[in-house]
Structure 1
Amino acid sequence: MRAIEPIKDIAPPASLGPVPELRWLPIASLVVDDAYQRLIGGRGRFLIQKIAREFSWLKFAPVVVSPIAGGVYAIVDGQHRATGAASIGIGEVPCLIIQADAQQQAKAFSAINGQTVKMNRQQLYHASLAAGHPDAVATDRAAREAGVVIVRSAKTAIQLKPGDTMACGTISQCVAKCGHERTVIYLRAVRASEGTHCSALLAQIIVATANVLDNRKEWRRDARLYTAFEAINLLDALEKAKAEAARRKVVRTTDLLEATLVTHLDAFFKRTVAA
């Protein structure tokens, strides 16, 4: 656990504004000002359905509202949450009541929605893992067994140390498609190709490796597999595949990388058998 550590030397604003009030309000008393609020489109409707289906007070943040004429409250933030709650028959929701005119409401809406730090995929994955989500737990188990660390924040390829990866989504998909055991083999194979400075555990490399080995059972079961991967620089192969894909424009980088990997493994296993 971390305590809140204030940042020093920040000058406070001249006014903090009226102190807000927390109160439960009937959803029937909440209205939406279309002048600054977003219309509920396809994505918004999907979000509302998800909120309703998975509703829990543990995940419900107070709706920010402001009193207006007629004894009702304009929603500043939370129309999707309020609509989701109403959709499953909930009559009242907790609200944070602020005192603001129409212009101030619009400014508050922009500030609340614009100043939120968006969570990246790695942060969402680690939050799901902490919550015990089965997909995240399965992904973590495969990564750990392969000696792979899923980092918590976005990094450049150069910043990733050997064994580090941001490709939590790719690994999750691999576990779902190929199962735990094969995913571990594929991750270990990629790890074997790494040097001492950078990670090769990039999404395109993992996908190409999984596709190739999934189609060649005899290779993934061969005791020489990791030795074969030690003999190829997958990062270099990826860069060459990207350049060739950009030049040809009609072929995918992953397809070219897979072709390079097939050529290398086929030659390696034939050569070592002949030796």
Structure 2
Amino acid sequence: MREADNQQAEWLLASTGQLRPIEPIDITELDIRDAENVEPICMSIDPKSLFVDPLYQRSIGDRGRRLIRQIVEGWDWNRFKPPACAYAEHNGQTVLKVFDGQHTAIAAASHPAIGEIPVMIHEARETAQQAAAFVGQNTGKLAVTPLQLHQAALVAGDDDALTIDQVCGRAGVKILRFSQKTFEPGETVAIGAIASLVEKRGAMRARIILEVLVKAGMAPILAPQIKAIEMLMTDDEYREAITADALVDTLKDSWLLDHDAAKQIALTHKWPFWKALAIHWFRNTKKVRPATGRAA
């Protein structure tokens, strides 16, 4: 049946008020393998007996507490989603750890009228398996930050996450587990920009680029800074005219002035901020030879 015929049939079905049955789709071209792991089981559990693992789940902050209070105040079983759990060893005892749904579990534990909740228990005893399950269940969810997903992927032994961690370690970059108000030189929460840099430029080139920002004492290292240095050290128009050491000298102790100047350049030329920042830094960096670029 053609797509148009399918849509017309669905419209006719909806107009009569009939229910639409669940039917399999055509899977003839799929490479189907055995399902990974075993199917979970559902059990009713006292939420106060559950645990969370700080290795891949951050603690509850003010925003999380507000969300939990909202869940408690407006508790509705029709909106309830069972937390995903797995057995683990803790202080010589077997316990259940929540790897997805800790806000729901805490709300249930806080509600005076709720003694037990259903949970889905998965076969994932190892922390790495639980972290991998956390990544799988939360990838694409807006409520879960890229920093949380990176930390969970790191615990799970994901190759890309391990490469990023190694690159940052060698460059002197410290990836924080969550954003904060004050930062030390070399600290960052720009995991998305770093991941993109490593994927695009490779581990060695990414490390060299990040080292410039570390040596310049950036606190924190921001995504526009990463993209700006990447452009200056990889683009043929700029990379042969300057050195990494010269860039470090330019960047030291000048971030606030550089930020304001780049904003003005971005407004004037309608450029992205990171590009304007790169041009500003290039103009102020000592050249090793006359530059052919228009921004010299």
Corresponding residue SS for 2:284:
helix
Deviations 1:93-112 (A, max 9, x none): xxxxxxxxxxxxxxx9xxxx
Letter in 1 for 2:245: Y
Q: How does 1:26-175 map to 2 (within 5 A)?
A: 62=42, 76-78=79-81, 118-156=143-181, 159-175=182-198
Is the contact made by 1:192 and 1:230 (CA closer than 8 Å) also made in structure 2? no
Structure 2 stretches lacking a partner, 5+ long: 1-31, 45-76, 85-116, 118-141, 291-296
- 2:231 aligned residue: 211
Which of 259, 263, 271 is residue 238 of structure 1 equivalent to?
259
Corresponding residue SS for 2:178:
coil
How many Å separate the matches in 2 of 1:239 and 1:145?
A: 31
CA drift of 1:168 comes to: 1.2
CA drift of 1:256 comes to: 0.7
The alignment covers a number of residue pairs equal to 169
How many Å separate the matches in 2 of 1:218 and 1:250?
A: 20
- 1:183 aligned residue: 206
- 2:244 aligned residue: 225
Which of 260, 271, 279 is residue 259 of structure 1 equivalent to?
279
Corresponding residue SS for 1:190:
helix
- 2:97 aligned residue: none
- 1:7 aligned residue: none
Structure 1 pair 147–188 and aligned structure 2 pair: CA distance change class (3 A): same
Corresponding residue SS for 1:269:
coil
Return the TM-score normalized by structure 2: 0.47
CA drift of 1:232 comes to: 2.4
Corresponding residue SS for 1:128:
helix
Return the TM-score normalized by structure 1: 0.51
Is the contact made by 2:247 and 2:281 (CA closer than 8 Å) also made in structure 1? no
Corresponding residue SS for 2:251:
coil
Is the contact made by 1:139 and 1:175 (CA closer than 8 Å) also made in structure 2? yes
Is the contact made by 1:161 and 1:199 (CA closer than 8 Å) also made in structure 2? yes
Corresponding residue SS for 2:206:
helix
How many Å separate the matches in 2 of 1:76 and 1:63?
A: 18
Is the contact made by 1:165 and 1:202 (CA closer than 8 Å) also made in structure 2? yes
Structure 1 pair 63–235 and aligned structure 2 pair: CA distance change class (3 A): farther
Is the contact made by 2:224 and 2:274 (CA closer than 8 Å) also made in structure 1? yes
Is the contact made by 2:232 and 2:238 (CA closer than 8 Å) also made in structure 1? no
Structure 1 pair 137–177 and aligned structure 2 pair: CA distance change class (3 A): same
Is the contact made by 1:205 and 1:238 (CA closer than 8 Å) also made in structure 2? no
CA drift of 1:140 comes to: 0.5
Structure 1 stretches lacking a partner, 5+ long: 1-51, 65-73, 82-107, 109-116
Which of 263, 269, 274 is residue 288 of structure 2 equivalent to?
269
